[in-house]
Amino acid sequence: MTGMVNNEGGVWVKTIGVLTSGGDAPGMNAAIRAVVRSGIYNKLKIMGIKQGYKGLIEGNIEEMNLSSVADIIHRGGTILRTARSEEFMTEAGRKKALNVLKIFGIDGVIVIGGDGSFRGAEKLSEDGIMTIGIPGTIDNDLGYTDYSIGFDTTVNTVLDAISKIRDTTTSHGRANIIEVMGRHCGDIALYAGLGGGAESIIVPEEEFNVDDVCRKLIQGRNRGKLHSIILLAENIINAYNLSEEIEEKTDIATRVTILGHIQRGGSPSAFDRILASRMGARAVELLLQGKSSRVVGVKGNEINDMPISQALSETKDFNKNMYELTKILSI
Ligand code: ADP
């Protein structure tokens, strides 16, 4: 750990860097803003590291001030941009990064990203740099925290799409398969499915059977239902093949909508802005207390923190109760 010991037994950090890494998520800007503003409030110098670990290796770093983060709380994406860096996965790459941190006098780094980015932060902390991770990923695939920044906004984006698709689906009496993101974690499909009243939800955590989906569609049609929404998490089955199979088996016209990257964009929801603001401030607080190699999370609306290693070892539990509820409510 670098820095001098202060009166309270913490470490006297003077300069901290902040970066966003891996997949972008709405609300990352609100987290950057919170880090910069609460850092400056606490008399720290804040350096913005552009394009994640790639920019760190390249020294793509600029000091940030209060106005660097003006007018960004409501913007999607990340003003610091993001990247993936193969080089940072190597010891030689990290050596370059350490050298850059030394040149810029950076004692601590706040990393906003997903599990891969946290692994990178853990490596940096092993090399003596204080690091804190903030969860920013739309998939909500981190087991240690109830929510990660960006997830709520994405669910809202999907809900908006479901409502629009439902209008046209109803007019024609069709079924519609909506493919959403979340290749290892079905939370986007699950939450949007429950909130959007989907008839069937297909997620990686639960076995799925086309005949069950068809049965539901036929049941619905027999009781006069005019529309059906099937929410499908990506990478489980080709949506167009599924649609053909459903049409063959039910004779119900079935259309496909793949939402794709619109799920990453947009102005962050109130929930994500508030979560990001609280987490950003906590990350700075932890560095001021001399804590390192930890991540910030949220459990039951309380912001907490724990070692990165512990956070990464926690497996994500799929919310089976919620999944069962979607079935009951779509009978
Ligand atoms: P996310 O953070 O969204 O999970 P990635 O898994 O792509 O995204 O990770 C982002 C970046 O973090 C990678 O491009 C790499 O630079 C760094 N990283 C990931 N895993 C490791 C690791 N085991 N050691 C060092 N750096 C890593």
Answer yes or no: is the C-beta of 125 below 6 A from any ligand 1 atom: no
Q: Check for a shared fold between 4-149+268-313 and 152-264.
A: yes
Q: Closest residue (by CA) to atom 13 of ligand 1?
A: 84
Determine which residue's CA is closest to atom 23 belonging to ligand 1.
Answer: 119
pLDDT of residue 19: 98
**Residue 10: what pLDDT?**
63
Q: Which residue has the CA at smallest separation from atom 26 of ligand 1?
A: 120
Q: Kindly state the helix (H) or strand (E) to which residue 133 belongs, with its residue range.
A: strand 130-135
Does the C-beta of 51 come closer than 6 Å to ligand 1? no
The first and second tokens of residue 310, run together, are 């512990």
What is the distance in A from the centroid of ligand 1 to the CA of 171?
45
Q: How many CB atoms lie within 10 A of CB 2?
A: 18
Q: What local confidence, expressed as pLDDT, does residue 9 receive?
A: 58
Look at residue 225 in the predicted model and tell me its pLDDT: 83
**Counting Cβ atoms within 10 Å, is residue 312 exposed (0-12), middle (13-18) or buried (19+)?**
middle
Say what the pLDDT of residue 215 is.
94
Amino acid at 313: S
Q: Structural domain boundaries of the chain?
A: 4-149+268-313, 152-264
Q: What's the CA gap between 44 and 300, in Å, rounded?
A: 30
Q: Which of 19, 24, 84, 127 to mutate to test the pocket of ligand 1 (most atoms within 8 A of CB)?
A: 84
Instruction: Judge if the beta carbon of residue 117 lies within 6 A of ligand 1.
Output: yes
In sequence order, what are the residues at sequence separation of 6 or more whose Cβ sits closer than 8 angstroms to the Cβ of residue 62? Answer: 47, 48, 50
From CA 215, how far away is CA 34, in angstroms rounded? 49
The whole-number pLDDT of residue 8 equals 58
CB 29 within 8 A of CB 79: yes
Between the CA of 84 and the centroid of ligand 1 the distance, in Å, is 7
Query: Residue 168: its pLDDT value, please?
Result: 84
pLDDT at 227: 82
CA 216 to chain centre: 32
Chunked into runs of 10 residues, the chain (331 residues) has average pLDDT values of: 55 92 97 98 97 98 97 97 96 98 97 98 96 98 98 98 89 90 96 96 96 93 88 97 97 96 97 98 97 97 98 96 95 85
From CA 153, how far away is CA 158, in angstroms rounded?
Answer: 9
158: its two tokens: 């999907």
Q: 116: CA distance to ligand 1 center in Å?
A: 3
The residue whose CA is least distant from atom 19 of ligand 1 is: 116
Active site residues: 139
- To 10 degrees, what angle do helices 115-126 and 91-103 make? 70
Say how many Å lie between the CA of residue 118 and the centre of ligand 1: 7
CA–CA dist 35, 41 (Å, integer): 10
Contact 254, 246 (CB under 8 A): yes
**Superfamily classification of domain 152-264:** Phosphofructokinase domain (3.40.50.460)
Ligand 1 within 6 A of CB of 150: no
Give the span between the Cα atoms of 14 and 106, in whole angstroms. Answer: 8
Cβ 78 under 6 angstroms from ligand 1: no
Judge residue 331's burial from the number of C-beta atoms within 10 Å of its C-beta, 0-12 exposed, 13-18 middle, 19 or more buried.
exposed
Per DSSP, the three-state class of 80 is: coil
**Domain covering 4-149+268-313 in this structure, CATH number:** 3.40.50.450
> Pick from 143, 80, 91, 152: which is nearest to 115 by CA?
143
> Is residue 53 within 6 Å of ligand 1 at its C-beta?
yes
Atom from ligand 1 closest to the CA of residue 84: 14
Q: Which amino acid is at 123?
A: K
Within 8 A by CB and 6+ apart from 219, the residues are 331
| Phi/psi at 23 (5° precision) | -70, 140
pLDDT at position 170 is 78
Residue with CA closest to ligand 1 atom 16: 85
Residue 96 region by backbone torsions, left for phi larger than 0, else alpha for psi between -120 and 50, else beta: alpha
Q: What is the pLDDT of residues 108-120, one digit of tens each?
A: 999 999 999 999 9
Which residue has the least CA distance to atom 14 on ligand 1? 84
Cβ atoms within 10 Å, residue 325: 13
